[in-house]
Structures are given as structure tokens and as C-alpha cells.
């Protein structure tokens, strides 16, 4: 059975109107949820600052470090951390790196002696029960007090999550990328 030109035009217009309504609905949803998401990211960063450097008195943001890229890891926030009497303690960085199911947003703290104080994952879309275990205490604690001069190689000096090697490697590679960016970009600034 052949459709007439009129039926095709009506069908096209109907599809166009439905698409415009859907686009409008998505844009309204985005505009309503964006401030909430931004606030949650800010709160997670503040929580990480307090947990990683509880004795810090000041976090000085380095704008020139934001959006620096190493491979597929992108810096979102970068802070020089100062303690009492403005004494530098290290730095704190948040970044994204692609995992198996999407981007992993994570935060690291590095002390002046070249020790990785802690790693926190604040957002991810990894597979529940598998890659989502990059947030597990067992996996993340292996980075605590790890020297930044270490290799950071999964199955060598980092134990992978069973059945989630891609997510394990993604986060480990992201951490190493941040350390490398920081070492090359902060020469003469940290440790002064």
C-alpha cells in the first residue's frame, strides 16, 4: 500500500513536534538539575579536602592547572594545600578519567614528601558489583601512603578488582597521570 505525500508530510511534522517537545523537556530537566549536581560535586570536594588533609588551613586553587590533560585524564580542580603558618603540606587534585562504563571522577591528595595520602572516588558509572568496586575501601586503601615514584601498574604494584580489570586500570592510570602532570607542572612551586 502506497502512502500519499500528504500522509508523509503529516508523519514528518508529527515526528518533528514530538522531537521538539522531548528536547524542550530535556533542556528544562538539565537546567533544573545542573545547580544541584554542581553543588553535590562541590560538597564532595570539600569533604575530600577535610578527610585527606584534616590539618590544612588553606586550599589555594591553581586556575592554570584546571583542564590540563594527560592521555584521557582531565584535571577539574587543583589546590596547593597549606597548613598552620601558611606552611605547604602538598596538593589536592580532582580529575576525570574514562572507565568501563563512563567517566570516573576522583580526588587525590599528595604530601610534600612524595606520598599519595589518599584517593577518593566521588562519582562513577561503572558496572554495579564489578567496576563499581573502584569505590571499595579495600581497593582504594592500597593507594594510601604509596610513593608517587612507584610504577602504578595493575597486577604489579596495584591489585586489580576481580572481574573489573578495566575499571581498576582506568583509575590507576588516571592517578598516575595526575601525579605526572603535577610533577612536571609544579616544579619549583611545591617544596619551595
How far apart CA 131 and CA 116 sit, in angstroms, is 22
Pairing label, strands 103-111, 69-70: unpaired
User: What's the whole-model pTM score?
Assistant: 0.77
* Residue pLDDT tens, the chain, 192 long: 566 888 899 999 999 999 999 999 999 988 888 888 888 888 888 888 999 999 999 999 998 888 888 888 999 999 999 998 889 999 999 999 998 888 999 999 999 888 999 999 988 878 887 878 888 898 999 999 999 989 898 988 888 888 888 888 999 999 999 888 877 665 445 444
Q: Any idea what the Cα angle at residue 180 is, between residues 174 and 186, rounded to 5°? A: 125
Closest residue by Cα to residue 175 from 104, 100, 90: 104
Spatial contact of 107 and 94, defined as CB atoms under 8 Å apart: yes
Predicted confidence at residue 3, as pLDDT, reads 65
Amino acid at each position: 500500500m502506497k502512502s500519499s505525500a500528504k500522509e508523509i508530510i503529516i508523519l514528518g511534522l508529527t515526528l518533528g513536534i514530538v522531537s521538539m517537545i522531548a528536547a524542550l523537556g530535556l533542556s528544562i530537566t538539565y537546567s533544573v538539575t545542573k545547580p544541584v549536581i554542581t553543588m553535590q560535586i562541590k560538597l564532595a570536594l570539600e569533604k575530600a579536602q577535610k578527610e585527606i588533609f584534616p590539618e590544612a588551613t588553606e586550599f589555594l586553587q591553581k586556575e592554570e592547572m584546571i583542564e590540563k590533560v594527560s592521555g584521557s585524564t582531565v584535571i577539574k580542580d587543583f589546590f596547593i594545600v597549606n597548613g598552620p603558618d601558611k606552611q605547604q603540606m602538598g596538593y589536592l587534585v580532582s580529575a576525570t578519567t574514562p572507565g568501563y562504563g563512563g567517566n570516573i571522577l576522583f580526588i587525590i591528595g599528595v604530601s610534600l614528601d612524595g606520598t599519595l595520602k589518599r584517593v577518593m572516588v566521588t562519582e562513577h558509572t561503572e558496572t554495579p558489583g564489578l567496576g563499581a568496586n573502584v569505590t571499595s575501601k579495600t581497593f582504594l586503601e592500597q593507594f594510601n601512603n604509596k610513593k608517587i615514584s612507584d610504577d602504578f601498574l595493575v597486577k604489579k604494584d596495584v591489585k586489580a578488582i576481580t572481574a573489573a580489570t578495566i575499571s581498576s586500570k582506568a583509575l590507576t592510570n588516571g592517578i598516575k597521570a595526575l601525579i605526572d602532570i603535577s610533577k612536571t607542572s609544579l616544579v619549583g612551586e611545591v617544596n619551595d
